[in-house]
Amino acid sequence: MFGDLIDPEFSFLSHVSRPDWVVVDVGAAIGQFAVFAATLPSAIVHAFEPSAANVATLRRNVERNRVVERVKIHQLALSNADGESTFEATERTWMGRLSDVPSEGGEVVAVRTLSGELKRSDVTHISVLKVNVSGFEPQVFEGAETVLAGGNADILILLLGLPSLPWYEKIASYGYRFFYYHPRERRLYEVSSFDERSVLSHRPWPARHIIAVHQSAIAAGVISTVEIVRSRR
C-alpha cells in the first residue's frame, strides 16, 4: 500500500515467515498489517484495536480477504494499566489515538496490558509483535515489559518515535538487536546506539518503523534468509 521503502517490514516478513507464527498487531486500525500477516503462512493473528468504527471496517476487511479463521479481533486498547480511556477519532478514523483527557466527542474504550491479555489468551510466545499506536508506544512497552524482558517475542515491528528512544535502549538490554531493512538488497542494517542522531541517521527514508529481533531468534535461524550488516561502533 505505501511502498517498500516506507513499510519495508512487509517485504522482510514475507522473506522470513513461518507457518507456526503467532502474530500480534497492536493498533490494528482497519487491518492493513493484520490482513497482510494473515496472508502469510502464519498460524494466527491477534489484532488489537479500540475504535468501534475501525473494528467494524477491520472485520469487513478480514472477511473480504477470506482470513476470518486466522485473525482474532480484540476490541481493546493496550497500555500500561487496566482501566478505561478515551479514543479521540479524526475524520480518518484509522488515524485516531488514545487521549488522557476525556472529551465530549471521544469514545470510552477498555484498556488492558499486553502481558495480561496474552496470559488471558494463553499465548506464551509471540513470533511477531507490531506496535503502532500514534505516540502511545512507550505505554504499550511498559505494559508488555514482562514479555519483552523474557524474550518472548521474536521480532518487533515498532513505529518510530523520539519518546520511544529510551525504551529501544531498554529493549536492547533484554537481548534485542535493532535494524532497518533494505528490501531491494534483502539486508538488515543494525542500529546499536539509541540517541536521536544515531537512530535517525540509520533510517532509510522514509521508513516509518524500526525492526528488532531477539538474539535467541537470530541464533535459531529465524531470519537466516536475510543478511545482517553489523553496525560500526
Least confident range of 16-20, 73-77, 88-92, 147-151 = 88-92
What is the rounded distance in angstroms from the CA atom of residue 4 to the CA atom of residue 161?
20
Residue 117: burial class (beta carbons within 10 Å; 0-12, 13-18, 19+): buried
Q: What is the mean pLDDT of residues 24-52?
A: 94
- Farthest-apart Cα atoms in the chain, separation: 51
For residue range 138-178, list pLDDT tens digits in order: 999 999 999 999 999 999 999 999 999 999 999 999 999 99
Do the domain assignments include residue 96? Answer: yes
Q: What is the DSSP string of the chain?
A: ---TTTSTHHHHHHHH--TT-EEEEES-TTSHHHHHHHHSS-SEEEEE---HHHHHHHHHHHHHTT-GGGEEEE--EEESSSEEEEEE--SSGGG-EEESS--TT-EEEEEEEHHHHHHHTT---EEEEEE--TT-HHHHHHHTHHHHHTT-EEEEEEE--GGGHHHHHHHHHTTEEEEEEETTTTEEEEE---SHHHHHHT--TT--EEEEEEHHHHHTTTTTTSEEE----
**pLDDT attached to residue 101:** 59
Do the domain assignments include residue 1? Answer: no
Do the domain assignments include residue 41? Answer: yes
CATH code, 90: 3.40.50.150
pTM above 0.85, yes or no: yes
The residue segments making up the domain with residue 34 are: 9-229
Q: Average pLDDT of the chain? A: 90
Do the domain assignments include residue 61? Answer: yes
Q: Percentage of the chain with pLDDT > 70?
A: 90
CB 22 within 8 A of CB 122: no
Do the domain assignments include residue 2? Answer: no
**Which residues are bridge partners to 97 per DSSP?**
88
**Which residues are bridge partners to 209 per DSSP?**
159
More confident residue, 103 or 117: 117
Do the domain assignments include residue 173? Answer: yes
What is the rounded distance in angstroms from the CA atom of residue 188 to the CA atom of residue 108?
40
Q: What is the mean pLDDT of residues 178-187?
A: 93
Query: Quick one: pLDDT band at residue 86, thresholds 50, 70, 90?
Result: confident
For residue range 205-216, list pLDDT tens digits in order: 788 999 999 999
Q: Is the pLDDT of residue 99 over 70?
A: no
Do the domain assignments include residue 19? Answer: yes
**Structurally, how many domains does the chain consist of?**
1
**Residue 35: CB atoms within 10 Å:** 22
